[in-house]
Chains A and B, each alone.
Chain A
Amino acid sequence: MSLIDLIVEKIVKIPLESKDKPDVIRELVQILKDAGEIDDFDAVLKVIQEREFKGSTGLQDGIAVPHGKTDAVSTLKLAIGISPDGIDFDSLDGKPSNLLFLLVAPPGMSGPHVEALAEIAKIAQSKAFCKSLISAGNSQEVVELMRD
């Protein structure tokens, strides 16, 4: 399964409501819960928080990629959140994060997990594409931009 197969409207939220890092991580995990993608909210939240504790996944230019591995999922799970105003995510360049990709995978799927993260890394390199995603009016538009 490719990253693009995971991108559907129900896993995209725009705009995010949270104003700080702890809350936005919870909000991203809640997207998966509300979409019926996960059962165990706390287990998923815990692995994401533990990974962030080791070092922030807030990259440059407004992108953040919180991720982790847990037995609480049986396949790759992706949530996308967009905050036009930006959220302080302890990013590398100190700038607020606007485009957040949360990826969770089961422990036995490291190959597809790494490849999905690598695809997100490529998206992060395309400033024009990220800008168009951040400017999207709703989740449908985000999905259309990705699948175009």
Chain B
Amino acid sequence: MGKPINKIMVYIDGTEESVTAAMYAICLASFTGADLIAHYVINTRAMEDLLRASIFLKDEQVEYEHDMAADAERYLNYVKELAVKKGVSIIQEQSKGSVHREVVNAVKENEVDLLVIGELSRIRSRRDEFYDETERAMRTVGCSVLIVKDEDKVWQMYESLV
């Protein structure tokens, strides 16, 4: 029987929770020897929705798309630094579109065994308006999903990794 986890993907979305998830994924990759991918989605779908709803002006949409591209670069580089510090190699990826679709596609294309995501909101409204893109990705991907909680414990685990 081969290793249960050969390829891990961590979804980075610019939140502290996703950075914590990355630290956990780095530890996991180090322990298991699995390949590690960090993926950021520039949510152009949401920006199109905001333009359609007249919440965004056209030049505002362009500005935010630039900002998101810069954020993607910055967060992915930060996660790479975290991985390199612990001697773990990491592949950085970014895509544009609808978050859950892009995550599902990336998992499929990279033949990922385990998707690692940050903690979701503990408040679960039954209203459809409050749906969470990351939660939708979690529900629709074809691989197992690990939700990382307890930032302090993860930080300690990462720090103790030699």
Contacts and interface: CB of A to CB of B under 8 A. Distances in A.
B53 A121 contact: yes
Given A59-B54, A108-B71, A114-B68, A122 B15 contact: no
Interface string B18-31: 00000000000000
Contacts of A4: 121, 123, 125, 130
| B-side interface size class | 35 or more
Given A4-B123, A5-B121, A111-B13, A122 B67 contact: no
Contacts of A122: 128-129, 131
B47 A114 contact: yes
The prevalent SS among residues of A at the interface is helix
A124 B68 contact: no
A112 interface: yes
A1 B15 contact: yes
A69 B48 CA distance: 19
B3 interface: no
Interface of A: 1-5, 51, 54-55, 57, 59, 65, 67, 69, 92, 107-115, 117-126, 129, 146-148
